[in-house]
Amino acid sequence: MTRATIELGDVTPHNLQQLKRLNQVVFPVSYNDKFYKDILEAGELAKLAYYNDIVVGAVCCRIDVLDGSRRLYIMTLGCLAPYRKRGIGAKMLEHVLNYVEKDGDFHSIFLHVQVNNQSAIDFYKKFGFEIVETKEQYYKRIEPADAHVLMKLLRPHKNVSEPEK
Protein backbone atom coordinates (compact mmCIF):
# COMPACT_ATOMS: atom_id res chain seq x y z
CA MET A 1 0.00 0.00 0.00
CA THR A 2 1.55 3.30 -1.05
CA ARG A 3 1.36 6.27 1.26
CA ALA A 4 -1.09 8.99 0.36
CA THR A 5 0.41 12.20 -0.86
CA ILE A 6 -0.85 15.55 0.38
CA GLU A 7 0.20 18.51 -1.72
CA LEU A 8 -0.76 22.17 -1.86
CA GLY A 9 -1.33 23.94 -5.16
CA ASP A 10 -2.06 27.46 -6.32
CA VAL A 11 -5.55 28.74 -6.96
CA THR A 12 -5.80 29.78 -10.63
CA PRO A 13 -8.62 30.83 -12.95
CA HIS A 14 -8.58 27.22 -14.20
CA ASN A 15 -9.36 25.64 -10.83
CA LEU A 16 -11.33 28.46 -9.18
CA GLN A 17 -14.57 26.56 -9.82
CA GLN A 18 -13.21 23.63 -7.77
CA LEU A 19 -12.53 26.02 -4.88
CA LYS A 20 -16.10 27.38 -5.15
CA ARG A 21 -17.60 23.89 -5.12
CA LEU A 22 -15.43 22.82 -2.20
CA ASN A 23 -16.43 25.88 -0.14
CA GLN A 24 -20.12 25.26 -0.93
CA VAL A 25 -19.82 21.73 0.45
CA VAL A 26 -17.60 22.46 3.46
CA PHE A 27 -18.93 25.75 4.83
CA PRO A 28 -22.45 26.71 5.91
CA VAL A 29 -21.98 30.24 4.54
CA SER A 30 -21.59 31.28 0.91
CA TYR A 31 -18.94 33.56 -0.50
CA ASN A 32 -19.52 36.22 -3.16
CA ASP A 33 -17.75 36.85 -6.45
CA LYS A 34 -15.50 39.51 -4.92
CA PHE A 35 -14.19 36.91 -2.44
CA TYR A 36 -13.12 34.67 -5.34
CA LYS A 37 -11.75 37.57 -7.39
CA ASP A 38 -9.56 38.57 -4.41
CA ILE A 39 -8.45 34.95 -3.94
CA LEU A 40 -6.96 34.94 -7.45
CA GLU A 41 -4.69 37.81 -6.32
CA ALA A 42 -3.79 36.18 -2.99
CA GLY A 43 -0.76 34.17 -4.16
CA GLU A 44 0.66 32.07 -1.32
CA LEU A 45 -2.29 33.04 0.90
CA ALA A 46 -4.69 30.82 -1.05
CA LYS A 47 -3.98 27.14 -1.64
CA LEU A 48 -5.88 24.07 -2.72
CA ALA A 49 -5.07 20.84 -0.90
CA TYR A 50 -4.70 17.69 -2.98
CA TYR A 51 -4.95 14.19 -1.54
CA ASN A 52 -3.58 11.77 -4.13
CA ASP A 53 -4.23 14.42 -6.80
CA ILE A 54 -7.87 15.00 -5.77
CA VAL A 55 -8.86 18.46 -4.49
CA VAL A 56 -10.13 17.84 -0.94
CA GLY A 57 -9.40 21.07 0.90
CA ALA A 58 -8.46 24.73 0.66
CA VAL A 59 -7.16 27.60 2.73
CA CYS A 60 -7.78 31.27 1.91
CA CYS A 61 -6.28 34.15 3.90
CA ARG A 62 -5.91 37.90 3.66
CA ILE A 63 -3.74 40.49 5.36
CA ASP A 64 -5.53 42.94 7.65
CA VAL A 65 -3.95 45.98 9.26
CA LEU A 66 -5.24 47.11 12.65
CA ASP A 67 -3.65 50.00 14.54
CA GLY A 68 -0.56 49.72 12.35
CA SER A 69 -0.13 45.98 13.06
CA ARG A 70 -0.35 43.42 10.28
CA ARG A 71 -2.60 40.49 11.09
CA LEU A 72 -3.25 37.45 8.96
CA TYR A 73 -6.94 36.58 8.74
CA ILE A 74 -7.83 33.00 7.83
CA MET A 75 -11.05 33.50 5.85
CA THR A 76 -11.53 29.80 5.12
CA LEU A 77 -9.65 26.62 5.95
CA GLY A 78 -11.60 23.48 5.27
CA CYS A 79 -11.45 19.90 4.13
CA LEU A 80 -14.08 17.52 2.79
CA ALA A 81 -15.49 15.39 5.63
CA PRO A 82 -14.26 11.97 4.39
CA TYR A 83 -10.68 13.31 4.27
CA ARG A 84 -10.54 14.85 7.73
CA LYS A 85 -8.10 13.56 10.36
CA ARG A 86 -5.51 12.75 7.67
CA GLY A 87 -3.17 15.70 8.20
CA ILE A 88 -4.60 17.82 5.38
CA GLY A 89 -5.82 20.66 7.62
CA ALA A 90 -2.51 20.57 9.48
CA LYS A 91 -0.59 20.82 6.20
CA MET A 92 -2.64 23.86 5.15
CA LEU A 93 -2.28 25.56 8.54
CA GLU A 94 1.46 24.81 8.61
CA HIS A 95 1.75 26.50 5.21
CA VAL A 96 0.10 29.62 6.69
CA LEU A 97 2.30 29.49 9.81
CA ASN A 98 5.43 29.15 7.65
CA TYR A 99 4.30 32.12 5.55
CA VAL A 100 3.96 34.44 8.56
CA GLU A 101 7.19 33.11 10.08
CA LYS A 102 9.15 33.80 6.88
CA ASP A 103 7.60 37.25 6.57
CA GLY A 104 8.40 38.07 10.19
CA ASP A 105 6.21 41.15 10.39
CA PHE A 106 2.83 39.82 11.54
CA HIS A 107 1.34 40.60 14.94
CA SER A 108 -1.12 37.69 14.93
CA ILE A 109 -3.23 35.22 12.99
CA PHE A 110 -6.96 35.15 13.59
CA LEU A 111 -10.18 33.57 12.35
CA HIS A 112 -13.85 33.11 13.21
CA VAL A 113 -15.30 29.73 14.17
CA GLN A 114 -18.95 28.96 14.73
CA VAL A 115 -19.39 28.48 18.51
CA ASN A 116 -20.65 24.90 18.15
CA ASN A 117 -17.77 23.75 15.90
CA GLN A 118 -15.81 22.03 18.66
CA SER A 119 -13.64 19.97 16.30
CA ALA A 120 -12.39 23.16 14.59
CA ILE A 121 -11.80 24.86 17.96
CA ASP A 122 -9.80 21.83 19.18
CA PHE A 123 -7.84 21.74 15.91
CA TYR A 124 -6.74 25.37 16.18
CA LYS A 125 -5.94 25.08 19.89
CA LYS A 126 -3.43 22.33 19.03
CA PHE A 127 -1.57 24.97 17.02
CA GLY A 128 -1.53 27.54 19.82
CA PHE A 129 -4.68 29.50 18.96
CA GLU A 130 -6.89 30.75 21.79
CA ILE A 131 -10.45 32.02 21.95
CA VAL A 132 -10.10 35.76 22.54
CA GLU A 133 -13.70 36.87 22.14
CA THR A 134 -17.15 35.76 21.05
CA LYS A 135 -19.11 37.80 18.52
CA GLU A 136 -22.86 37.51 18.82
CA GLN A 137 -24.89 37.33 15.61
CA TYR A 138 -21.72 37.17 13.52
CA TYR A 139 -23.26 34.86 10.92
CA LYS A 140 -26.36 35.63 8.91
CA ARG A 141 -28.82 32.86 8.08
CA ILE A 142 -27.11 30.07 10.04
CA GLU A 143 -27.58 28.78 13.57
CA PRO A 144 -25.92 29.25 15.94
CA ALA A 145 -25.15 32.74 14.61
CA ASP A 146 -22.39 33.41 17.16
CA ALA A 147 -18.69 33.01 16.37
CA HIS A 148 -15.62 32.66 18.50
CA VAL A 149 -12.61 34.70 17.44
CA LEU A 150 -9.52 32.50 17.68
CA MET A 151 -6.13 34.15 17.66
CA LYS A 152 -2.51 33.14 17.75
CA LEU A 153 -0.18 35.91 18.83
CA LEU A 154 3.12 36.02 16.98
CA ARG A 155 6.32 37.75 17.87
CA PRO A 156 7.21 40.02 14.98
CA HIS A 157 10.99 40.04 14.63
CA LYS A 158 11.22 43.18 12.51
CA ASN A 159 11.25 46.63 14.15
CA VAL A 160 12.37 45.12 17.46
CA SER A 161 14.31 48.20 18.41
CA GLU A 162 11.28 50.49 18.39
CA PRO A 163 10.55 51.86 21.86
CA GLU A 164 7.16 51.05 23.36
CA LYS A 165 4.62 53.86 23.22
Q: Which of 83, 112, 138, 148 is catalytic?
A: 112
Predicted local confidence at residue 161, as pLDDT: 46
Predicted local confidence at residue 121, as pLDDT: 98
In percent, how much of the chain has pLDDT > 70? 93
Q: Which of 50, 73, 99, 139 is catalytic?
A: 73
- Into which CATH architecture does domain 6-153 fall? 3-Layer(aba) Sandwich (3.40)
- Nearest Cα neighbor of 98 from 1, 8, 2 is 8
In the three-class reduction of DSSP (H, G, I as helix; E, B as strand; rest coil), residue 7 is classed as strand
Give the residue ranges of the chain where pLDDT is below 50: 159-165
50 carries an active-site annotation = no
Predicted local confidence at residue 156, as pLDDT: 59
Beta-strand runs (E) in the chain:
6-10, 46-51, 54-66, 69-79, 108-114, 130-135, 147-153
- Residue type, position 44, single letter: E
Q: What are phi and psi of 13, to 5 degrees?
A: -55, -25
Reported pTM: 0.91
Predicted local confidence at residue 163, as pLDDT: 46
As a whole number of angstroms, the distance between CA 132 and CA 28 comes to: 23
Predicted local confidence at residue 155, as pLDDT: 74
As a whole number of angstroms, the distance between CA 78 and CA 82 comes to: 12
The distance from CA 91 to its chain's CA centroid, rounded to whole angstroms, is 11
83 carries an active-site annotation = no
